[in-house]
Amino acid sequence: MAAVLAFLAPAAAPARAQEPGVTWDHRPTIVLGEGSRIDLHARAQSDYLVRDESDSDVASLTFEDRLSVARKRVSVEGVLFDRVSFEVEGEVGDEQPWRDVYADVKVNRKLRIRAGHFKVPFSLEQLTRGTDLDFIARPAAVSDLSPSRDIGVMLHGRLADKAVKYEGGVFEVDAAARLWKADATRTYAGRVTIAPLADGKSRGSDALEFSAALLRSDLPEGRSSLNGHLVMGDTFFHKMFVNGIRTRMGASVAWNARRASVHGEWLRALDSRRGQAIDGGDLSDLVSTGGYAAGVWHLLARDGHRWGHAPLRGIDVTGRFDRLTYGSTATVDDAFLNPRADHVAPIGKDTWTAGVNWHVNRWVKIQANAVREQIVDPLALLPLSTAPLWSTVVRFQVAM
């Protein structure tokens, strides 16, 4: 129904500024008065599995088996008195429905305070909204190494004539299960973005951005290290026993031009493993490293597109390479893959993704991605084939 509405919807009438009432500008908006409004959003994504070489029974799947719903979200975003912005977003039908639920208070241009449940500032790709991604799936390095949302408080703002953007906060890890409990664990996060090019009067253009991020999290004892997945969800690197501190660091660069954009990230996580050897001794740190480089060519760009926003576009051709590896700081002695190995055998995955995005109109996007994954297992320890695995998925998205 949402898809039909999106196709049939008339051209949007621009909202009349600041007159109380309900308007339609891409989406329903309730204008409460000067500097206060509420926007209603709905987003739905459905995927059709064309090909999956990791599943030997895929040929026998029916049309319904191949179809899945990736997201069906509704949200309310708004601004009150030009000073407090907020968002409440939920996944319809999910056992844990809440996604972004926060309020953001603007103290001044240089300082804002956000509190609630929202994304931890770390990865550029993870911070990009799911409906604005250039690919159907985030790169493995991001989906497997980057934190998503937690409950926390964050200070953020822009300095130096908007050339520097900063975000820093503290979050409760896995807050839904632990908040207010004695075993609560925390993440301290900081991210700085430098945008050296000018955009109109001031600097801070998103045409070129460099970012660096650092996270430090408490890591309770347990089998809870980061693990690695194939794009279809199978696990190729299983969780290890950890205890102590998880340190994540990341860097990214994004260049956005009218007809093309390029961006990339490098991410690393170090997990300490105190007292986790089979004899109770300490193990070396577990090292998880990943990164990607992605490019988008706007074949039919119709406006001054900037990556990360949601402009009107026509057709994009996309390509990406990403790599994810696991290992340890110990490199002597025999390399093993058991969850208490001191020298963790190097295991990784290289992924190439090629795709096309068709922006049918401002609400409807159709994406097709062909993915070639190859597990890297130089010591031949995994019970998995290291031959390339191909998968192809088509996504139909409606967002307003």
Partner 1 sequence: MRMRTAVLLLALLCSAVTASAQTQADLFDDTTLHTIEIVMHSRDWSDLHANFRTNDHYPCDVIWNGLRMRNTAVRSRGNGSRYQAKPGLELTFDHYASQQRFLGLRSLVLDNLVTDPSMIRESSAMALMRRVGVAAPREAPARVFVNGDYAGLYMIVEPVDTVFAQKAFEQPGLLFEYRWTYPFFATFPGDGLDAYATLFESRSLGVHSTAELYTPMRELFRTINDTPQGEFAQVDRYLDLASVIRTLGASTFMAEWDGVFGYDGMNNFYLYRMGEQATLIPWDRDQAFHAVNYPLLAGALENVIGRRMLQEPELRAAYVQAVTAAMAAAEGDGWLEREFTRQYALIHDAAVADTLKLATNEAFEQAFAELVAFARTRPSFVRNELNALR
Is 233 an interacting residue with respect to partner 1 (CB under 8 A)?
no
Of these, 370, 381, 390, 392, which contacts partner 1 (CB under 8 A)? 381
Question: Judged by CB under 8 A, which of 105, 339, 358, 394 binds partner 1?
Answer: 339
Count other Cβ atoms within 10 Å, centred on residue 33: 11
Task: Give the shortest CB-172-to-partner 1 separation in angstroms.
Answer: 25
The minimum distance between CB 53 and partner 1, in angstroms, equals 10
* Contact call for residue 279 and partner 1 (CB under 8 A): yes
> Residue 289 in contact with residue 277, Cβ under 8 Å?
no
In angstroms, what is the minimal distance from the CB of 35 to partner 1? Answer: 56
Distance linking the first and last C-alpha atoms of the chain = 13
Contact region with partner 1 (CB under 8 A), list: 85-93, 148-156, 169-177, 335-343? 335-343
Among 45, 276, 284, 325, binds partner 1 (CB under 8 A): 276
57 binds partner 1 (CB under 8 A): yes
Is residue 232 near partner 1 by the rule CB under 8 A? no
Among 212, 232, 277, 317, binds partner 1 (CB under 8 A): 277
385 binds partner 1 (CB under 8 A): yes
Nearest distance from C-beta of residue 387 to partner 1, angstroms? 11
Site string for partner 1, 16-55 (x = CB under 8 A): ----------------------------------------
Pick the piece of the chain touching partner 1 (CB under 8 A) from 266-274, 318-326, 338-346, 363-371.
338-346
- Tell me if 344 sits within 8 A of 327, measured CB to CB: yes
Distance CA 195, CA 108 (A): 20
Q: According to the binding rule CB under 8 A, does residue 383 interact with partner 1? A: yes
Neighbours of 331 (CB within 10 A): 11
Q: Among 8, 60, 93, 108, which residue sits at the site for partner 1 (rule: CB under 8 A)?
A: 60
Q: Is 336 in the site for partner 1 (CB under 8 A)?
A: yes
Answer for which of 241, 307, 326, 363 binds partner 1 (CB under 8 A) is: 241
328 touching partner 1, by CB under 8 A: no
Rounded to the nearest angstrom, the gap between the alpha carbon of residue 327 and the centroid of all alpha carbons in its chain is 23
Which of these ranges, 80-88, 114-122, 264-272, 339-347, lies near partner 1 under the rule CB under 8 A?
Answer: 339-347
CB of 372 to partner 1, least distance (A): 18
Residue closest to 133 by CA, chosen among 39, 248, 261: 261
User: What residues have CB less than 8 Å from 170, skipping those under 6 apart?
Assistant: 152, 153, 186, 187, 188, 189
For residues 143 and 168, what is the distance between their CA atoms, to the nearest angstrom? 21
In DSSP notation, 85-147 reads: EEEEEEETT-SS-EEEEEEEEEEETTEEEEEEEEE-S--HHHHS-GGG-SSSS--HHHHHHS-
Asked if 204 and 161 count as a contact pair (C-beta separation under 8 A), the reply is: yes
Nearest one of 264, 238, 231 to 388, comparing CA atoms: 231
- Show the CA angle centred on residue 368, arms to residues 76 and 390, nearest 5°: 125
By the criterion CB under 8 A, which residues form the site for partner 1?
A: 56-57, 59-60, 221, 241, 276-280, 334, 336-341, 345, 379-383, 385
